[in-house]
Structure 1
């Protein structure tokens, strides 16, 4: 009984500390101390074994995925330094026009994250440009933030096949699948998320205009607007700007296309069976293309690459810390009872996957953390019950992208902090587009898969 109460207290403590802005690593360490003490676990096992080096340990995860985080952050930093990310954003803005600012934000964020640019780089790219768009279209800040979240943190993260996102790679690495597993289900879910999310945001925008709510400037807007490109002449054109992203996607899809065409070679097999290394190589190739296409980035290329390496550390450590927290949680009797309850529910396997992956991601407030814990603790049972690895890959990814965006999510807190928003002002819209809509899309895929299998 005490152990279960301690487990609950540790979870609540993690959520409260995260909401209060406490560093997630410190929050995790305090929380696992509470869990360890109340569950009678030796502290040396908690802090020196389960948290760092267990099957879901922080350092175990960091060691496996360091290269991917590093290459993704490097590519994102170089795309930003070359103004290619801004070039994509401004070209789409000219094409669609400022009155479609919400659609522009979603499309640009989706395009960049699908191509491998890390979420935080995308946010910092879109906010300075967004100040102008919000002014011209009179869009409330809360809705623009939700459009960024929809494009950067939903369908390109968990649904669309082929993306080098950490979530897609975790599933592929754990199940022995490739980055295109369950592809058609992912495409259907991705379309649903984009359409439903944008419908909601446009509806809310019309309602806000009718009620007299619009854009309100803040002192920080002036600073961020100064970071936005002041003239199109200094920006590369759309074709040149988007080429590095297209190269990354082309290299990722190439082994799958050649395999379907009946071509066999060792490097094709490598590309299909080593998702971490292959996605990392694709991102490095995109960075090399930036070096070739954008002369202004060359003089400071090494320094920019170093900044990219620095950019990788914080998200890697934060994600690893959350996963290490899960590594301690899964050692407790309470979690084993919880897992047994989930697996013992009289539900179809895919619906059980949906529920379990969602709950674990909600507990950790991290899709990647929840997915890693799910793969190491529950996925083997679903494979044994007959769920195919490809289908489990996609359904678990989709499910992990539901409750991961609860109020204590690090990404949500970072977005609100950057844009000067509070949970009271903006979380309702974030909840709809990053929790409710993805869960509906995942349920649709689960229902369809149950009909077809």
Structure 2
């Protein structure tokens, strides 16, 4: 009955979440259903298991949600994201329209801007560019997804995405875990994705298919505040779309150097903190009870990303102060944009904690750890399945590591496996099957591009799912043969 309860709870969570119900309510209800089937005490699991684990996630990662959302909002309101996207699209021109959109998305998201902020800036530019280049509108979502939601989210070493931060406390790693393998995976995702999009563009031209006859203009403010889009988005990413129209979007655009500088600061400070500053710090105070009696490896990765984002926020404020006419409104909107997403993902974490605490989950743990191919394959399968079921890379990844992270670290200690390799496999694995039709990023992206699942989803699958699976297979194969590098 316990295993049946887990399946029923997952089914209810998936069904109602896909229909737009809030995860904040669905996750604890589904957790109680699973506990009831197992004959476990419901109130104890709600207040002691669900809430303590959800609160633990918030305590650990809210600084990154908060600073990341604030940084993205300031970059948007200052016009910096617009300038970067506009410069690339003009420099590369309509002859390389797809490449321009992909690179613009990659630059801003690798620099720490939320992919949802990038969606709302890139979609209007991609529409104009694709129309002038006579490229079908249906390919826009896939082009934006390739640049924002694939290699810069899960593979590029040092990426400040929340997905890249989640494994750090579990494995004692840094944002730059397995950099060589991350670059290899990024090259595969980018290469395969661009090959597919160019192939689709050539096929469309051969059939005489242009941009399309639908010249309707998408009202981005309506999309941002749409209840269904918002409910799906906040459960899968770290920015509440309802806050995008808030604040004052400047018309006095900054020069390119001022737009790019905060992104460069994120990458540079993250690298220096991870490789130079933190390893040389005396952190013996962390052993004190008042600081949780933890080690640097448990908090260092989060510290690196938090300091990098904070430095970038200060940089953005300094170079764009005159352009941020309603600074308080922008800061309020950025801070507010982080709250609903972190609570939504934390609720998924609480649900996973209840499931992992049930006696029947022992069977699931044994099955996962017993998958043939070794710990890297089983870890990839676990993160893939949970990200697919939840429709959330961050939620699925945290559930997997909460339940199985300690087991994989024990395997690593016994076999000499580098935890950095576990980190990179887990992050890439979480960013594959999460891009199913119910994923919040997919729903939002289709809405801002004025397209539908029927028209654009297959190409999204090819550039987001297939490319990531190929990269994941390559990392597992190379990592098994040569280890982490």
**Could you tell me how far 1:442 is from its partner in structure 2?**
0.7
Q: Is the 8 A contact 2:263 2:312 kept in 1?
A: yes
Structure 2 CA distance, aligned partners of 1:147 and 1:195?
13
Structure 1 CA distance, aligned partners of 2:351 and 2:451?
28
Aligned to 1:443: 473
**Could you tell me how far 1:401 is from its partner in structure 2?**
1.4
SS at match of 1:427: helix
Structure 1 residues 86-122: Cα deviation after superposition (integer angstroms, max 9, x where no partner): 0100111111112322212211111111111112111
Structure 2 CA distance, aligned partners of 1:141 and 1:334?
48
Relative distance call for 1:40 and 1:188 in structure 2 (3 A) is: same
Structure 1 CA distance, aligned partners of 2:404 and 2:69?
30
Structure 1 CA distance, aligned partners of 2:209 and 2:351?
41
SS at match of 2:177: coil
Structure 1 residues 149-177: Cα deviation after superposition (integer angstroms, max 9, x where no partner): 11111111111111111111111122111
Correspondence list, 1:12-411, <5 A: 12-53=11-52, 57-216=53-212, 217=214, 219-221=216-218, 234-258=252-276, 264-266=280-282, 274-385=300-411, 386=415, 387-411=417-441
Name the Cα RMSD after superposition. Answer: 2.7
Structure 2 CA distance, aligned partners of 1:220 and 1:46?
48
Tell me, which stretches of 5 or more residues in structure 2 are unaligned? 222-243, 284-294
Relative distance call for 1:87 and 1:380 in structure 2 (3 A) is: same
SS at match of 2:218: helix
Aligned to 2:240: none
Structure 2 CA distance, aligned partners of 1:410 and 1:9?
22
TM-score of the pair, normalised by structure 2: 0.84
Q: Is the 8 A contact 1:131 1:221 kept in 2?
A: no
Tell me, which stretches of 5 or more residues in structure 1 are unaligned? none
Aligned residue-pair number: 442
Relative distance call for 1:335 and 1:99 in structure 2 (3 A) is: farther
**Could you tell me how far 1:233 is from its partner in structure 2?**
9.1
Structure 2 CA distance, aligned partners of 1:30 and 1:251?
42
Structure 2 CA distance, aligned partners of 1:322 and 1:374?
11
Q: Is the 8 A contact 2:425 2:475 kept in 1?
A: yes
**Could you tell me how far 1:303 is from its partner in structure 2?**
2.0
Correspondence list, 1:412-451, <5 A: 412-451=442-481
Q: Is the 8 A contact 2:274 2:300 kept in 1?
A: no
Structure 2 CA distance, aligned partners of 1:251 and 1:174?
23
**Could you tell me how far 1:134 is from its partner in structure 2?**
2.4
Structure 1 residues 42-63: Cα deviation after superposition (integer angstroms, max 9, x where no partner): 221332222221xxx2222112
Structure 2 CA distance, aligned partners of 1:235 and 1:61?
37
Structure 2 CA distance, aligned partners of 1:243 and 1:253?
15
SS at match of 2:210: coil
Structure 1 residues 131-153: Cα deviation after superposition (integer angstroms, max 9, x where no partner): 21222123333311111111111
